[in-house]
Amino acid sequence: MDNYLIGKWISIQSFKHDGTLHRLWDRGLVLENNDDYIIVATKKAKVTETNGRFWFTKEPAVTIFSKKEWWNTICMIKKDGICYYCNIASPSVIEKRTIKYIDYDLDTKLFHSGYMKILDEKEYAKHRQTYNYSDDLNAVLCYTMKLVIKKMKDRVFPFEDNKVAELFDEFKRLMEKKD
């Protein structure tokens, strides 16, 4: 466990199944780091796509990267409440102050209203063929999607507004200290 990372900026890299870089976030401030998760917060992070196009995140977010389960969740802090965007992805690892994971395209979004939407099923089907996902991998990813949907319905971690609000408050406190 790298507790020295807490309060430090770290970059984030998303890869495709074949190891090619998919997307890069320039920074996230580490709020927690334990055996199960690394949690970072961002505000106006620069996101660079593999084609060189870049953009900046619109709202602040707390992102929870699971180190053991096949997901990561971006908790977007919006004016009307917290919106959750869960990527079905490999467990995350940390290498040289960079969080790394493989993005498997299947995503689920939970809106503040409680409405849930599964995203990118066609992209997943296409990439399953392109990257030749094994039946075992497909089973893990589909199981994880079911697990994530249940967690969303039950509003358990990482889909807990109060916990995310506490983490975001910690981010604001750390940012004030850095100013």
The answer to whether residue 132 scores a pLDDT higher than 80 is: yes
Task: Tell me 170's DSSP state.
Answer: H
Q: Are 57 and 45 in contact (CB under 8 A)?
A: yes
Please give the positions annotated as active site: 23
55-82: per-residue pLDDT in tens? 999 999 999 999 999 999 999 999 999 9
Integer Cα distance of 45 and 25 in angstroms: 6
Superfamily of domain 3-178: FomD-like (2.40.380.10)
Residue 2's pLDDT band, with cuts at 50, 70 and 90, is low
**52 alpha-carbon distance from chain centroid:** 21
Q: Which two tokens stand for residue 96?
A: 């040289």
pLDDT at position 176: 87
148-179: per-residue pLDDT in tens? 999 999 999 999 999 999 999 999 998 888 65
Give the residue extent of every domain in the chain. Answer: 3-178
pLDDT at position 118: 95
Residue 125's pLDDT band, with cuts at 50, 70 and 90, is very high
Give bridge partners of residue 83 from the DSSP assignment.
76
Q: Which residues of 118-136 are buried (b: 16+ CB within 10 A; e: fewer)?
A: eebeeebeebbeeeebeee
Sign of CA dihedral 36, 75, 45, 9: negative
Tell me what percent of the residues of the chain surpass a pLDDT of 90. 92
